[in-house]
Amino acid sequence: MPQPPQSLPLRPRRGFVAQPVVLTGLAGGLALIALALASGAHLLLVLVLACALAAVTLVQARRARGEAGRLRAEVAQTHVEVADGALTLPYTSVLNALPDPVMVISAHEPDDLTGRRFVMVNRAGRRVLKIQREAGLLVTAIRDPDVLEVVDEALFGGLEGEAVYETGGVQERIFRAYARPLGASGDGARLALLVLHDETDIRRVERMRADFLANASHELRTPLASLSGFIETLRGHARGDEGARDRFLGIMHVQAERMSRLIDDLMSLSRIELNEHVRPLEDVDLVAALLDVVDALAPLARDKGVALEVETPPRGAVTITGDRDQVIQVAQNLVDNALKYSPAEGRIRILLQSDLSAEACVAPRMEPAARMSLLTPDHGPERFAALSVIDSGPGMDREHLPRLTERFYRVEGQKSGEKLGTGLGLAIVKHIVNRHRGGLAVESRPGHGAVFTAYFPLARTSAEVGGAPDEAPDDVIKLS
Amino acid sequence: MNEHIVKAYEDELNTLTAECARMGGLTEAAVADALEAVVRRDQQMADSVVARDERLDALQADIERKAIRMIALRQPLANDLRRTVAAMKIANNLERVGDLGKNIAKRTIVIIDSDPMVPLTRSIERMGRLVVTRLKEVLDAYTASDLERAMSVWSRDDEVDEHYNSLFRELLTYMMGDPRTITACAHLLFVAKNLERIGDHATNIAEIIHYEITGDEAIATARPKTDALQRP
Ligand SMILES: Nc1ncnc2c1ncn2[C@@H]1O[C@H](COP(=O)(O)OP(=O)(O)O)[C@@H](O)[C@H]1O
Ligand SMILES: [Mg+2]
């Protein structure tokens, strides 16, 4: 057993034969940590660098001895030892615990595309980049040309670089990608480190603020102008006119309420959008949430003479992973619309089905009808609970369907809802459902009614969670 | 065959896949940037998209040359042959997508010249993002050899068409409402048309992946023509 010098904070354990190259690497890791502590630099990044360096060093050492088969185990047994030696941790668990994706990339020649491989990627990296393997062709993990360029500069130019990396898709996330050179290995391979830092929140706040201001100022201007108009009239020639004053105050009251509804909806939309990429965690009893909404809206339906029919499994039978208040908001907005656009004596069916595939969720519930998916979840092997609200109102022409979830979009000529709506209800529904990784579909037959179906992934049972591929324990790093 | 030759052969196949993936990344970026140029009225971005198109043409030619060489010299069989052919076909589709992206970027100059049409631009952006997402998903499916993912792109072929139809109506309304917008609207209409065709190429690529993985070409005729299905 080799004993590294006392001050080395990084040391390999168990049956490891010391080699100069190994010690250089380990010393490098030490030096980096020392440097970081001294300078107060970004400790996380430095820790990552140190770990990566240790891993790479091991790779080189083993490769030189042609024992690739045992590499995996050796790497897994490398430990990070902190300062006084009281605490040791397998470094792979350190990397895997990091919230930021981390990847080590190796390459040989600049013009050899298949030579660029990722030789290590931590758990966050596999999740964000949707890769199953821990080693493979670099372009199968990242295609973004800007990121590939900074990686190349780190590999072949020894330069540090940054690029913006956007994941795309319905749950778009924005990362800053940092590429750092790690030098060359014994067999001439060039090495680089890639760390992705999530900046989605910052970017979103920026965009939200701009959107909110633009929308709010645009939409509030009309009711505000009308309010000022009435005030002017009341101070001017309608001054002594009692009848006009009452009528005007009535209109002003309606406008003021509309403004406050607008502000509420806009605020609520902004809040939802802000953490749309953060999947909620609570268990929500979907049946109970739905029945609460139905109870709250029942008096309204009675006043209008609309019959509410509810078909659900018993309370407690359908559990989804969600945010209870937001799920309630979805049900409320959909039932609210159905009520608003239903004629008196209309009929609303509320249907909750559980354990469906994504395809079954968008299966027809009204026939014949035009139908369209307004939000499709990213592909994944999930089961869903689907909430359908089926009304017998005017429905809408097919051409309106793709635009329904747009902010402020209203179908013209539907007198019943015009004064009540803000045009934000379905936009809110869509963003909430997207946050829940669910989907939304609409069916409509003009003159006969509309169906809105929101579906949510079912909560996974604990047995399933343990077996899921991206949650599997993986302290062992595989190298190929 | 000795080990060396087998190794080199495997390498060549991998190179084709890798080059296709890289070309895919450049194409995705071109389309996303072209869309951004139109939406944010950014002429500089538009120029850069146009300038980068040559690179895509060169990559496509290169992949085609390598694939043909591979087929002629190595005479790959079954799986390997399909992988080679798929790479070549996908590169062709990507090259067309690049051209469509360039065409979108070129229209920026005219669109910037007119007054901003906010709701229309939003609709274009929404449709464009959908198309970009489809392209991304299908390329993800290609690099991961994930048949199911490819098929999920393929089966949602009609979403883009729906957006196009709706946008078409919106544009008509706009042009009729204010004849001064006709020129800009006509260009936006072509932008939408190009986006729709990019969506079709994504569907083509899904079909190629299906062929690459299963060896079955029949899917091309089985596409659900949803319009007939959906209209009451
Ligand atoms: N059940 C329905 N029947 C007919 N039209 C509907 C229905 N639900 C929504 N819509 C149409 O979609 C538009 C957008 O809905 P929403 O976002 O909830 O806004 P609003 O505040 O106007 O209800 C509505 O203005 C209406 O034209
Ligand atoms: Mg509403």
pLDDT tens track for A192-247:
999 999 998 888 788 777 777 777 777 788 788 888 888 888 888 888 888 888 88
Q: Is the residue at B15 inside a domain?
A: yes
- CATH hierarchy code of domain A200-276: 1.10.287.130
Distance CA A304, CA A290 (A): 20
CA torsion sign for A64, A66, A67, A72 is: positive
Core vs surface per residue B106-125: b (16+ CB within 10 A) or e: bbbeebbebeebeebbebbe
Token output for A294: 């139905």
pLDDT of residue A64: 42
| Integer CA distances (angstroms), B10 to A335, B5, B7, B81, in order | 58, 9, 5, 12
The number of the ligand nearest the C-alpha atom of A348 reads 1
Q: Is the residue at B1 inside a domain?
A: no
A425 lines ligand 1 (CB under 6 A): yes
Say if pTM beats, i.e. exceeds, 0.80: no
Name the CATH topology of A279-479: Heat Shock Protein 90 (3.30.565)
Question: Helices in A178-285 by DSSP H: which ranges?
Answer: 200-235, 242-274
| A402 with B166: Cβ contact below 8 A | yes
Identify the bridge partners of residue A90 per DSSP, sorted by sequence position.
Answer: A79
Tell me the pairing of strands A282-285 and A190-198: unpaired
Q: Phi/psi class of residue A175: alpha, beta or left (left: φ > 0; alpha: ψ in -120 to 50)?
A: beta
Which residue matches tokens 């758990």? Answer: A123
| CB nearest to A113's CB, from B18, B165, B166 | B18
Distance CA A455, CA A383 (A): 10
A338 lines ligand 1 (CB under 6 A): yes
Cα of A275 from ligand 2 centre, angstroms: 22
Side by side, which strands form the sheet with A161-166? A136-137, A117-121, A102-107, A190-198, A174-184, A161-166
Name the CATH topology of A82-198: Beta-Lactamase (3.30.450)
Q: Which positions ≥6 away from A208 have C-beta within 8 Å?
A: A270, A273, A274
pLDDT of residue A67: 40
A414 lines ligand 1 (CB under 6 A): yes
CATH at residue B80: 1.20.58.220
Instruction: Extract long-range pairs of A243-248: CB within 8 Å, 24+ residues apart.
Output: none
Q: Near ion ligand 2, which residues have CB within 5 Å?
A: A 337, 425
| CB nearest to A170's CB, from B123, B133, B139 | B133
Predicted confidence band of residue A15 (pLDDT cuts 50, 70, 90)? very low
Cα of A418 from ligand 2 centre, angstroms: 10
Domain that holds residue B81: 7-229
Q: For residue A409, what is the nearest residue in chain B, using CA coordinates? A: B119
| CB nearest to A373's CB, from B28, B136, B159 | B159
**8-state DSSP, A198:** E
If you take atom 24 of ligand 1, which residue's CA is the nearest one?
A410
Token output for A404: 């329904």
Question: What residues of chain B have any CB closer than 8 angstroms to a CB in chain A?
Answer: 11, 14-15, 17-19, 21-22, 24-26, 28-29, 32, 122-123, 126, 132-133, 136-137, 139-140, 143-144, 148-149, 152, 156, 159, 162-163, 165-166, 169-170, 230-232
Q: Which residue has the higher pLDDT, B141 or A54?
A: B141
Q: Which positions ≥6 away from B64 have C-beta within 8 Å?
A: B88, B91, B92
pLDDT of residue B79: 86
Candidate from A261, A297, A330, A337 with most ligand 1 atoms within 8 A of CB, to mutate: A337
Distance CA A391, CA A351 (A): 11
Distance CA B6, CA B63 (A): 20
| B21 with A139: Cβ contact below 8 A | yes
Q: Which residue has the higher pLDDT, A133 or B204?
A: B204
* Most confident segment among A80-84, A381-385, B1-5: A381-385
A-chain CB neighbours of B166 within 8 Å are 399-403
ipTM above 0.90, yes or no: no
Contact B111, B184 (CB under 8 A): yes
B-chain CB neighbours of A108 within 8 Å are none
Return the number of CB contacts < 8 Å for A and B: 88
Residue among B187, B204, B134, B205 nearest B163 (CA)? B134
Contact A354, A458 (CB under 8 A): yes
Sorted by where each begins, the domain ranges of chain A are: 18-78, 82-198, 200-276, 279-479
| B25 with A148: Cβ contact below 8 A | yes
Which of A217, A398, A403 is the best residue to mutate to test the B interface, defined by the most B CB atoms within 10 Å of its own CB? Answer: A403
Q: What percent of chain A has pLDDT over 70?
A: 76
B-chain CB neighbours of A369 within 8 Å are 232
Largest CA distance in chain B: 73
Average pLDDT, chain B: 87
Cα of A426 from ligand 1 centre, angstroms: 7
Rounded to the nearest 5 degrees, what angle is found at the Cα of A183, between the Cα atoms of A67 and A27? Answer: 75
Token output for A222: 């009309």
Number of domains in chain B: 1
A390 lines ligand 1 (CB under 6 A): no
**Confidence check: pLDDT of A390 > 60:** yes
Residue among A386, A200, A194 nearest A279 (CA)? A200
A422 lines ligand 1 (CB under 6 A): yes
Identify the bridge partners of residue A121 per DSSP, sorted by sequence position.
Answer: A103
Using a CB–CB cutoff of 8 Å, tell me whether A370 touches chain B.
Answer: yes
Q: Which positions ≥6 away from A301 have C-beta within 8 Å?
A: A307, A308, A339, A348
Contact A138, A151 (CB under 8 A): yes
Q: For residue A112, what is the nearest residue in chain B, using CA coordinates? A: B15
Using a CB–CB cutoff of 8 Å, tell me whether A406 touches chain B.
Answer: yes
pLDDT tens track for B6-36:
657 778 888 899 999 999 999 999 999 999 9
Q: For residue B147, what is the nearest residue in chain A, using CA coordinates? A: A379
**Confidence check: pLDDT of A45 > 60:** no
Which residue matches tokens 């604990």? Answer: A462
pLDDT tens track for B157-197:
888 988 899 899 889 888 888 888 888 899 999 999 999 99
Token output for A113: 């595309």
Average pLDDT, chain A: 79
Contact B20, B85 (CB under 8 A): no
Q: Is the residue at B225 inside a domain?
A: yes
* Most confident segment among A310-319, A376-385, B178-187: A310-319
Using a CB–CB cutoff of 8 Å, tell me whether A40 touches chain B.
Answer: no
Would you tell me how many other CB atoms lie within 10 Å of the CB of residue A126?
20
Contact B103, B190 (CB under 8 A): yes
| CB nearest to A399's CB, from B19, B133, B165 | B165
| A131 with B144: Cβ contact below 8 A | yes
Would you tell me how many other CB atoms lie within 10 Å of the CB of residue A271?
14
Contact B102, B30 (CB under 8 A): yes
Q: Which residue has the higher pLDDT, A5 or A210?
A: A210
Contact B174, B188 (CB under 8 A): no
Using a CB–CB cutoff of 8 Å, tell me whether A368 touches chain B.
Answer: yes
A-chain CB neighbours of B21 within 8 Å are 137, 139-140, 143
Q: Is the residue at B2 inside a domain?
A: no
The number of the ligand nearest the C-alpha atom of A405 reads 1
Q: Is the residue at B136 inside a domain?
A: yes
Cα of A231 from ligand 2 centre, angstroms: 30
**Confidence check: pLDDT of A12 > 60:** no
Instruction: Tell me if A82-198 shares its fold with A200-276.
Output: no
B-chain CB neighbours of A143 within 8 Å are 21-22, 24-25, 28, 139, 143
Q: What are phi and psi of B59, to 5 degrees?
A: -65, -40
pLDDT tens track for A410-440:
887 776 555 667 889 999 999 999 999 999 9
Q: Read off the pLDDT of each residue in A84-111 and give the average, rounded to a whole number.
A: 81
Q: Is the residue at B114 inside a domain?
A: yes
C-alpha torsion A187→A189→A190→A196, nearest 10: -120
| CB nearest to A140's CB, from B15, B143, B170 | B143
| Integer CA distances (angstroms), A284 to A321, A324, A359, A429, in order | 6, 6, 23, 17
A142 lines ligand 1 (CB under 6 A): no
pLDDT of residue B136: 94
